[in-house]
Amino acid sequence: MRSTAAVVILCAGYFLLAGAFSHPPREWTRLILTQQWPKTFCSMEHCKTDISYWTLHGLWPNSGNMCNNSWHFNASLIEDLLPEMEKCWPDLLKPSSPEFWGYEWKKHGTCAAKAESLNSQHKYFSKALELYHKFDLNSVLKDKNIVPSEDYYKLDDIETVITDFYGVKTKIQCVHTKGGQFQSLGQIEICVDRDFQLVGCEKSNEEILSNEILPLAVGGYSELSVCDHSTPVYYPPLVTG
């Protein structure tokens, strides 16, 4: 009986996963505004940075990847945005290159563009910048004395500050050390609906199957995972000492 039940469960799982791959991605319902802490990113990627504020990682639809591989990124179409992009959405690995923006457009922007409000490169990147400034994570944390420090924080304290301000649940991700003594604050996701209004970042089973079977990673980003409530959080300052 146990072996029969196991076969049934395995078959059900196979068909569920097969369905996720065989059907086209569902229309996205939320956008994930993702911001990263440069110091933590560079600790993973062995880069150097003098940026002491949260920067954009991307604006990601909650369904679909690489929706139009023939729609190539063209920096000349967002020329008026470039000074702001270089400041708020920098490539920490290749500061003088537009490669990072091209990757984000190809993987996520071409899917976001299924909505009329985001159906051009200029609309997509300008909306990401607008949301980044509107939901100013740097100020939210600083105003409540959550600042880069050699001291550790409790994840509950960070979560409370963010949730109280935005009124919705966000997703806070950390880089976990091998020994597990602490975790470094690395990335925070804030979600909006198709009208760009704040919503919670909880994921349904459908979204997990359709959009997250392959790890969402750029370089060492596979090391990021949801922060652990029982582990102290390190919010690394630019200069340690």
Give the CATH number for residue 148: 3.90.730.10
Report the number of distinct structural domains present in the chain: 1
What is the pLDDT, as a whole number, of residue 26?
Answer: 76
Q: Does residue 239 fall inside a structural domain? A: no
Distance between CA atoms of residues 230 and 238, nearest Å? 25
Amino acid at 165: F
User: Which residues does the chain have with pLDDT short of 70?
Assistant: 1-25, 203-222, 240-241
Just list the catalytic residues.
57, 104, 108
Please report whether residue 212 resides in a domain.
yes
**SS3 annotation, the chain:** CHHHHHHHHHHHHHHHHHHHHHCCCCCCCEEEEEEECHHHHHHHHCCCCCCCCCEEEEEEECCCCCCCCCCCCCHHHHHHHHHHHHHHCCCCCCCCCCHHHHHHHHHHHHHHCCCHHHCCHHHHHHHHHHHHHHCCHHHHHHHCCCCCCCCEECHHHHHHHHHHHHCCCCEEEEEECCCCCCEEEEEEEEEEECCCCEECCCCCHHHHHHHCCCCCCCHHHHHEEECCCCCCEECCCCCCC
Residue 204 within any structural domain of the chain: yes
Domain span holding position 78 = 2-234
Is residue 30 a part of any domain in this protein?
Answer: yes
Q: What does the pLDDT look like over 99-138, one tens digit per residue? A: 999 999 999 999 999 999 999 999 999 999 999 999 999 9
Asked, for residue 241, whether it belongs to a domain, the answer is no
pLDDT at 61: 98
**76 falls within a domain:** yes
101 lies in some domain: yes
Q: What is the pLDDT of residue 1?
A: 44
Is residue 139 assigned to a domain? yes
Whole-model pTM: value is 0.83
Phi and psi dihedrals of 79, rounded to 5? -55, -35
The total number of residues shown for the chain amounts to 241
Q: Model confidence over 196-220: pLDDT tens digits?
A: 999 999 864 444 333 443 333 333 3
The radius of gyration computed from the CA coordinates of the chain, to the nearest angstrom, equals 19
Count CA atoms within 13 Å of residue 57 on its CB side: 23
Average model confidence (pLDDT) across the chain: 85
